[in-house]
Structure 1
Amino acid sequence: MTKEENELWQKIEAFTLDEPGIGFSFSQRLARENGWNLNYTERVIAEYKKFIFMCCITETGVTPSDPVDQAWHLHLTFTRSYWVDLCQNTLNKQIHHNPTKGGVKEADKFDGFYNTSQKLYSDKFGIAPPVDIWHDNDERFSDINFQRVNIGKYWLIKKHRVPVYSLSILMLFVVCTIFIQASDTLLSALLMLGVVGVVVIGVYKWESDPDKWRNKGGGDSSSGCSTAGCGGESGSSHHGGHDGGHGGDGGHSGCGSGCSGCSSSGCSGCGGGGD
């Protein structure tokens, strides 16, 4: 790190998200909402601070891991802590987060931003990102089928995709065998085998990536960001990731499906709040 970067990092690292003397802190809320233990939650918060640091210094773009993104989402709801204490008083930058417009091109582009994030992380902190928080690209941009569930009303049972797939094959094999034995012609038997093959392939592809097939129309429900300068000119809104927005220029910020990102602009003269 440069001297300026080191000074910035020390300020970010010293920033606390847990307000002292309260019964339900930021870290406790983050742990509860994600089903994490407190040790893992504290590690995620530490990684979130590193991501915020990278947002401030990137020359290209960065994208957070999903656990880091969850910490970011929650922090945005603590509006005074985020916009005043962090962005205005600590960073002197506004770090924005907006919904994505989606699209395959943006997804491909900002899959690269996630690679950039991990390289910048290693360059600045001298170690590789922890793999249990910064997952690989495949998992980061595919394991995204989340919904808000009230666990006080519903039981949650883990889906085991391999047994479901195996059961489907077994049932189709039994049906196929019965049909072939009852069939009078070879053509009918071959037709049944073709139908079975198509169904098996379809089940396998759906089980491998159900979200891809659900959103085949090109849209998704992920979040992204845009860059806004102090003069009120908004940069291009894109899919996740972070664009440094140096000098107030509009940036191309984003990432692949299911992720989110950020953009920064100097806070001087912009007032105290965010969007």
Structure 2
Amino acid sequence: MSNSVLDVINNRTSLRVYDNREISQEILDKILHAAMRAPTAGNQMLYSILVVRDEQTRKLLSQSCDHQAFIATAPVILIFLADHQRWFDYYQLNGVAEYCDREGLRFEAPQESDLLLAIEDAMAAAQNAVIAAESLGIGSCYIGDIVENYEFHKELFDLPDWAFPIGMLCLGYYRENHLKKPRERFDKQYIVFEEKYKHLSPEEYQQMFAQREQTFHEDNPYHADNFAQAFYARKTGASFSKEMARSVRVAMKAWDGRLLNPKAPNKR
């Protein structure tokens, strides 16, 4: 069983080399509209989308996002912000702090749970944008490294405390005769469980990673003895991951659920 939507999903791959064609505003608007039709908690739309076309900004992002040169060549970049700032600005404008004071409620700043909910909204919107773009012949590549270098990105995009850059998409047309090679995913039996979580056995882990372990080379630059060790060194334990962790810790300091002063704007 297949249809055009499933075909788009199944054939989509990350694109890092783009054709020398601009994405028109009309086409971009279709992608953004699709993003904004994504599911959202309580119809709050707890995200904002930054559209980046400026060449200098794209060059800066290619450096700040783990030195990936191809980022600068993408005609359009979309940055998805997990955003509670807009709702809390609205609350401030409409006397919610005073209302809470009058009714004995706690008027609290956004906290960790609010950030997680906004992330869900933002990434649902981002994936809608990916599928819409793909259906229009426009490839994409997720850049998770936008969560690194929080202070730099906060200043670059004039971000308030409660708008956190959680995802970034590079968009561009496929080059003529581009050959798509969808990468193999783990088998469903290791990812999808019925009713309760399943702890995999050593044998199942061996089967799950068998294909990827074939890519391991003993003369690797990490002095690793196996695929797991090499992958940890390249990804999980790498310097960019440590920077990502540091950056998120800095950003999280604002999402603390502190009581807000009903008599003055909340400025940090």
TM-score with structure 2 length normalisation?
Answer: 0.29
Larger Rg: 1
More strand by share: 2
More helix by share: 1
TM-score with structure 1 length normalisation?
Answer: 0.28
